[in-house]
């Protein structure tokens, strides 16, 4: 993890504009994470005096486990946000190289100037390929570092979603008074659920956007097929970057079993909805 952090910091220092591009994402994550932990602490304190010591101890342990997992979420989010802003910069630079190459073809005058400009563009492409490879390495190392934590977080969100759906149904069915809950506890719980899932969606959103930005790299690079008669080195630079993307496609997985994509995310939400409905139907039939 220390090696990964050092690598991220080196790239961050080399491209300080990443700080400006990611400040709103950092602020949003800080607010949502702080409110999630703060509201959960408020729920624990609000239940004091109405529950026995064993139940209160369980709530306290649950709170500290949540804080630890939240810290892992923040670490993953910060690195993923850094990777995403780097991909955005790469796309801007690659798009500029494509535009410069188009202009160079249209205004091809002196052979010496043409070759010089081609070499300059080839250098830029090689730098883009180098940074892209580093970013992909960071993503792969992050997956390995957060294998177990990622599985726990995904499992925790899934189980808590089903449980919270059933709890909301029970409150509406029986009333919070009959469940030994105060109105303030119900309000705090619903507020906590909102920021808890918002916090998780921020992590999911940045991972999906990274894959969108990666596909945009491929899409922009696809315009190279329109170029003819370029310098050999520039053509090789385009081809090497294209082969690099084909041979090592970007994938974000959880313990090498579950790929985080838009389709798998929608499938997970569908399963979550189905299991929540089944649990509520079982309660309606037997209780």
Q: How far apart are CA 274 and CA 287, in angstroms?
A: 20
What single-letter DSSP state applies at residue 222? Answer: G
Assess whether pLDDT exceeds 70 at residue 1: no
Which residues have CB under 8 Å from 56's CB, separation 6+? 44, 47, 48
Phi, psi (deg, nearest 5) at residue 283: -65, -40
Question: pLDDT grade, residue 49 (50/70/90)?
Answer: low
Which is more confidently placed, 75 or 15? 75
What single-letter DSSP state applies at residue 225? Answer: G
Assess whether pLDDT exceeds 70 at residue 99: yes
pLDDT at 90: 92
Which residues have CB under 8 Å from 221's CB, separation 6+? 94, 238, 241, 242, 245
Q: Do the beta carbons of residue 248 and residue 137 sit within 8 Å?
A: no
Q: How far apart are CA 174 and CA 4, in angstroms?
A: 51
116-169 per-position pLDDT tens digit: 888 898 999 999 999 999 999 888 888 887 777 777 788 888 888 888 888 888
204-261 per-position pLDDT tens digit: 999 999 999 999 999 998 877 666 677 788 888 888 998 999 888 888 887 777 788 8
Which residues have CB under 8 Å from 46's CB, separation 6+? 182, 184, 185, 188
Which is more confidently placed, 94 or 173? 94
Assess whether pLDDT exceeds 80 at residue 53: no
pLDDT at 283: 82
Mean model confidence pLDDT for the chain: 83
Number of neighbours of residue 16 by Cβ within 10 angstroms: 8
Residue with tokens 């180098």: 130
Up-side HSE of residue 123: CA atoms within 13 Å toward CB?
A: 6
Mean pLDDT over residues 101-126, rounded? 81
Q: Look at the chain and count its residues.
A: 287
Task: Report the share of the chain in percent with pLDDT over 70.
Answer: 90
pLDDT at 104: 80
Residue with tokens 């649990």: 279
Task: Report the share of the chain in percent with pLDDT over 90.
Answer: 21
Give the β-pairing of 253-254 and 258-259.
antiparallel
Helices (H) and strands (E) in the chain, counts: 8, 2
């Amino acid at each position: 993890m220390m090696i990964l952090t050092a690598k991220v910091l080196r790239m961050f220092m080399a491209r300080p504009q990443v700080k400006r591009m990611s400040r709103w994402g950092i602020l949003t994550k800080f607010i949502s994470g702080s409110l999630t932990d703060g509201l959960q602490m408020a729920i624990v304190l609000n239940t004091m005096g109405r529950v026995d010591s064993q139940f209160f101890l369980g709530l306290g342990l649950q709170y500290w486990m949540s804080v630890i997992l939240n810290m892992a979420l923040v670490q993953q989010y910060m690195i993923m946000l850094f990777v995403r802003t780097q991909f955005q910069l790469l796309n801007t630079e690659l798009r500029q190289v494509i535009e410069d190459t188009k202009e160079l073809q249209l205004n091809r005058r002196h052979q010496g100037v043409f070759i010089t400009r081609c070499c300059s563009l080839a250098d830029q492409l090689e730098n883009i390929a180098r940074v892209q490879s580093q970013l992909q390495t960071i993503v792969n190392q992050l997956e390995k570092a957060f294998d177990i934590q990622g599985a726990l977080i995904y499992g925790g969100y899934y189980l808590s979603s089903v449980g919270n759906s059933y709890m909301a149904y029970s409150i509406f069915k029986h009333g919070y008074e009959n469940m030994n809950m105060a109105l303030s506890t119900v309000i705090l719980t619903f507020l906590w659920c909102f920021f808890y899932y918002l916090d998780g969606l921020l992590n999911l959103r940045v991972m999906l956007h990274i894959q969108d930005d990666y596909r945009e790299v491929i899409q922009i690079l696809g315009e190279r097929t329109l170029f003819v008669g370029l310098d050999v080195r520039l053509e090789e630079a385009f081809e090497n970057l294209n082969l690099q993307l084909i041979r090592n496609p970007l994938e974000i997985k959880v313990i090498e079993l579950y790929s985080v994509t838009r389709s798998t995310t929608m499938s997970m939400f569908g399963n979550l909805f189905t299991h929540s409905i089944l649990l509520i139907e079982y309660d309606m039939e037997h209780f």
